Structure 1
Amino acid sequence: MDNNMLILSEGMHTSIQDLGRKGYRAFGVPISGAMDKYSAILANKLLNNDEKLPVMEMTLIGPKILFEDNSLIVLTGADMAPHINGEAIQMNFVYKVTTSDVLSFGNLKTGARTYLGVKGGFLTEEKLNSFSYYEGVTSKEKVQKGDRLKIASIEAGLNPSSSKIKVKSAHFKEKKLEVTKGPEFNRLTKKHRELLFSKEFKIDAHNNRMGYQLKNKFPPIKNGEIITSTTIPGTIQLTPSGKLIIMMRDCPTTGGYPRILQLTDIAINQLAQKKENDSFKFDLESSFDFLGRLVNRFKD
């Protein structure tokens, strides 16, 4: 037994991701990690894995996978109509797969990104304390047809539990994305601010792991450029031409456009499940909610 899975077809931008490559931004290395951390962590929790273990991230179109050994698997995030050996299976439910079982996907039903978790995680290439694929750091940017991915072995006779969790539909359908003020928010006029929080924005075709561009043009501001400064996932930049760009998990570590807003981490997860032409509004987080979020972050 080789404890491998063979990729029969790769789908659209399938990659291995964990919770990110932290501590290397000073060297220009992005954080990366799962676009929707909520769904990635859920996959590991359902398998009783450590939440930091790597999972497989799939975008819009799922791959076709042959298992070459026994494992326990679960699928979370977007519903891509998954099947094992041609039979439909449920999302957010742990299944046992055996040698020669084939996992495949149909048409996308909800969301944009699906996560495949395996018991014990993927034993793929680790670079700079992370398994997250990123061009220039790992040898691969995405999973390709013919790849054999090493997975952890499981104990003989280990069977899945029958527990299943129902994920709130709001995670995929939320129309208001929570934001805080960015460092250059004060450059916006009253008219800019009113427009920013009343307008419905639509996702452009130019969206990927690095960033989401929005279709709507926004009135440019004076002094439309800044000295190159720090950007992080969720930073919302306004270009001199009036283009809004939302930085995502693979975003560069610096940028030269005003950073007018910052998505909360929950909002980044929600945006990661949206695709071209999906729409939403920005919702400014209150100071009370912001402080509450900080307190919760540092609780034991």
Structure 2
Amino acid sequence: MVKVLKTGLYSTIQDLGRHGYQEYGVPYSGAMDIYSASMANVLLGNDANSATIEITMTGPTLEFNCETSICISGADLSPRLNESQIRLNKPISVKSGDIVSFGKLVSGFRSYLSVLGGFKTEKVMNSYSMYPGITKYAMLFKNMTLIIDTSLDGLDKNHAGIKVKNTHFTNKTMDVFKGPEFDKLSKKQQDLLFSQPFTISKDNNRMAYQLTESLENNLEPIITSSVLPGTIQLTPSGKLIILMRDCQTTGGYPRVLQLKESSINSLAQKITGDSIRFDLK
């Protein structure tokens, strides 16, 4: 078992998402940065869909009450094992009584901690991903106990040499496809989408990232239609909203662009004030 001594800013259990229930209004959820979450799992020899702890900006403090192995990928939040710094993207053995904690945010925004076999918390609709109203708990809380499989032994050494793409964190260009309402934009509006940078506003979370700059908008609202993570909506005020993993399943704003999956993952590592550009594919 793993005891949560401190929670950090916003720490949740996430796997790769809750698929097949969107017709009932259930969000996909899942790791904001699927690339990093999968990396943390694969380096341990886990299935990529095993449940991890998603850590946002500041990390939790965790007490391990059993022997297991962990791996931390994604943002660099200065992870430590018993106050000694540990490396990212490297399987680490932990013993009963060991404390894993985090310090200063060095780069990125979200980090992922995997354990051998994955976390075995509440599973709802074929997913461990926490979401308010779907799972009993929406995030980790102090003194919470996380169940893990202590019967597993050893690591799959064949995964130890996987190389992490640094561009995943440094790239400012977001690859996009045309959204269903893209062609309703004027030529000027279309050109502006790809000729200017956009800044991530303070309004960013697991549901959506809003951008600071405005785009002139004279489009009519659409009939409520399907949306999904990566859908970029143009609001009546001219603001662009990029839907993320916990987004609603339908929306009434024009869907002007759609982020490529790899760009959703990269965007999840951006913070308030970061600048991005769109590149049409």
> How high is the TM-score relative to the length of structure 2?
0.97
Alignment of 1:170-189 (within 5 A): 170-189=167-186
SS class of match (1:14): strand
Is 2:255 the partner of 1:246? no
Task: Please state how far the C-alpha of 1:222 moved relative to its aligned partner.
Answer: 2.9
1:16 aligned partner, one-letter code: I
- Partners of 1:196 and 1:278 lie apart in 2 by 17
Q: 2:134 aligns with which of 127, 133, 137?
A: 137
SS class of match (2:10): coil
Alignment of 1:66-105 (within 5 A): 66-105=63-102
Task: Please state how far the C-alpha of 1:163 moved relative to its aligned partner.
Answer: 2.9
Is 2:171 the partner of 1:194? no
Cα pair 1:187 1:221 within 8 Å, conserved: no
Indicate how the Cα distance of structure 1 residues 22 and 267 shifts in structure 2: closer, same or farther if over 3 A, else same: same
Gap regions ≥5 residues in structure 2: none
Task: Please state how far the C-alpha of 1:187 moved relative to its aligned partner.
Answer: 1.1
Q: 1:262 aligns with which of 239, 244, 258?
A: 258
Q: How many residue pairs align between the two structures?
A: 280
SS class of match (1:168): coil
1:125 aligned partner, one-letter code: E
Cα pair 1:95 1:160 within 8 Å, conserved: no
Q: 2:280 aligns with which of 278, 281, 284?
A: 284
Task: Please state how far the C-alpha of 1:155 moved relative to its aligned partner.
Answer: 4.3
1:136-172 CA distance string (max 9 Å, x none): 000011111111100111446x368493444122101
Query: Which ranges of 4 or more aligned residues in structure 1 deviate by more than 2 Å?
Result: 158-166
Is 2:21 the partner of 1:20? no
Task: Please state how far the C-alpha of 1:226 moved relative to its aligned partner.
Answer: 0.7
1:6 aligned partner, one-letter code: K
- Partners of 2:115 and 2:151 lie apart in 1 by 10
Q: What is the percentage of aligned positions where both structures have the same residue?
A: 49
- Partners of 1:221 and 1:196 lie apart in 2 by 15
Cα pair 2:175 2:260 within 8 Å, conserved: yes
Task: Please state how far the C-alpha of 1:111 moved relative to its aligned partner.
Answer: 0.6
Provide the residue aligned with 2:214 in structure 1. 217
Cα pair 2:45 2:156 within 8 Å, conserved: no
Gap regions ≥5 residues in structure 1: 286-300
> How high is the TM-score relative to the length of structure 1?
0.91
- Partners of 1:150 and 1:221 lie apart in 2 by 52
Is 2:22 the partner of 1:40? no
Provide the residue aligned with 2:225 in structure 1. 229
